[in-house]
Amino acid sequence: MQGCSGESEWRTEEGSGVVARLWLKLAGRWPNLPTMSEAQIPGSAVLIESLYEDAQRLEPEAFEARHGSGFLLVSARADSPGGSTSTVMLMGFDQGDPNEHTANLSLVVYPLRAKKGSADPLITMGRQAQHDVVIPDKSVTRFHAFAKVGENGEFLLQDAGSTNGTTVNGASVPPRGTGPPTPLKPGDNVRLGQVEFTFTDARALREFVLQVGGG
């Protein structure tokens, strides 16, 4: 996440295990994260703790087959200030006292996968409910971005002409028709509008869930 100390170290190490270590450092700053109710889960997100049983009983390949191969991690608040219907996504973790943010904070992941029954190779992302990845934040455009799996199995991210833009590690992702998509690697910082995520693969997610759930 942007602003966290040691970010350059996380990105220079090889392998998906770096993402789990990044998350453990993050979770250590908020050791008592509360659980959202099902109604409070933002958009198409999945609560970290809901994956613990599968992480325990499934081998890595089976876990990936069940939940997907790519994910966006974010810390989200369950409150909606000012009567807004938009969930607040917590950003800028190093600003102020972390304890002030803990009350309504949970770790969630957005699986990067198409909805069941979809034959479209594109994984669409946006604020509207019909998309594969639904992110209910005001800074996210109704149809904000899309991803697809490349020939080598990597995720390729493209902006869909959004209002507030898409970046990977601070570099702008070209809107469709203006440049090539941006490949994603585990540990990459992805920003849609003002919402910042960490991209990871299934193995790192499973590792993280087991370590946090077993702690």
Cα angle 109, 92, 6 (rounded to 5 degrees) comes to 85
Distance, CA of 193 to CA of 199 (rounded, Å): 16
Distance, CA of 43 to CA of 49 (rounded, Å): 17
Q: Which amino acid is at 171?
A: A
CA distances from 159 to 45, 48, 58, 69, 137 (A): 20, 27, 34, 20, 16
Distance, CA of 135 to CA of 43 (rounded, Å): 5
Joined tokens for residue 83: 């009567």
Could you read off the pLDDT tens digit of each residue along the chain, which spans 215 residues? 333 333 333 333 444 454 444 554 454 443 444 444 444 557 788 888 889 999 999 999 999 999 999 999 886 544 444 333 333 333 333 334 434 433 344 578 899 998 876 767 899 999 999 999 999 889 999 999 999 999 888 999 999 999 999 999 999 999 999 999 999 999 899 999 999 999 999 999 998 888 877 65
Q: Residue 190: name the closest of 171, 205, 207 by CA.
A: 171
**Which segments within the chain are labelled E, that is strand?**
46-47, 70-77, 105-111, 123-126, 133-134, 145-149, 155-159, 166-168, 171-172, 182-184, 189-192, 195-201
Joined tokens for residue 209: 């869930």
Tell me if 189 sits within 8 A of 168, measured CB to CB. yes
3-state secondary structure of 88: coil
Distance, CA of 178 to CA of 77 (rounded, Å): 35
Q: Residue 2: name the closest of 201, 188, 208 by CA.
A: 188
Q: For the chain, first and last CA: distance in Å?
A: 22
pLDDT in tens, 89-120: 333 333 344 344 333 445 788 999 988 767 67
